[in-house]
Amino acid sequence: MFWLILLVVCFLGIDLFLGIRFFEYVYSAHIRHQPPLVQANKILRCAVINYINANYKNVKNICEIGSGFGTLARAMAKKTGATVWALENMPFAAFVSKFMDLFCRGYNKTIWCDAFDWMDNTNMVFDIAVAYLGPELTAKIPRYKNKIHVLISIDFEIKNMKPRHIIDMGRGATIYMGKKYPHRIFIYELNHK
């Protein structure tokens, strides 16, 4: 009997998680018209982390603009040793990310906020900002060049800005607003030390 109750509770928990996640996805994409939660896959996450470790060895603090469940943010905190500020505006995603921070072997701090309002109001300066957003929101990030030294953008390039480096993953793509963006990582030095 105990196991049956446990099984039913687990199923209900999973259903609830998937239901809220689906609701937030639809709300993000169709009501707020912002990039919905799509996680960067493991290959992209490893490529971002390897690039940071190879090129910016003394990185102290990183922010992720639009961090979803914080999978990439926590991996960066663990594998680069930097303090990571994960900025996410969807409440359920931020809640899950905050909960998972408790188990993070690194220092990842999730903040539930509109990332752009937060950046407007913070006095912090970040060695690196990472973003996996759509083209319109990514294009807004260079305005924070006094607060961000290096921007790493997954899949979305900024028009009229020359990246320091482009890593072409060679396969896979993000489909955003019906358009296909091949998996590439764009590195911009906005204001490198």
Ligand X SMILES: C[S@@+](CC[C@H](N)C(=O)[O-])C[C@H]1O[C@@H](n2cnc3c(N)ncnc32)[C@H](O)[C@@H]1O
Give the footprint of ligand X on this chain (CB under 6 A): 28, 34-35, 37-40, 64, 66-68, 71-72, 87-90, 93, 114-116, 132-133, 137
Task: State which residue, 125 or 137, has the beta carbon closest to ligand X.
Answer: 137
C-alpha pair distances (Å), 163 with each of 8, 58, 112, 159, 188: 51, 21, 29, 10, 5
Minimum Å gap between C-beta 9 and ligand X is 27
Q: State how beta strands 148-154 and 165-176 pair.
A: unpaired
Q: Rounded distance, CA 84 to CA 61, Å?
A: 6
Strand order of the sheet with strand 61-65? 108-112, 83-88, 61-65, 126-131, 148-154, 179-189, 165-176
Task: State which residue, 59 or 76, has the beta carbon closest to ligand X.
Answer: 76
Minimum Å gap between C-beta 105 and ligand X is 18
Minimum Å gap between C-beta 64 and ligand X is 6
- DSSP-based three-state secondary structure for 34: coil
Q: At what angle do helices 71-80 and 91-101 cross, to 10 degrees?
A: 30
Task: State which residue, 64 or 101, has the beta carbon closest to ligand X.
Answer: 64
Minimum Å gap between C-beta 168 and ligand X is 18
Task: State which residue, 64 or 127, has the beta carbon closest to ligand X.
Answer: 64
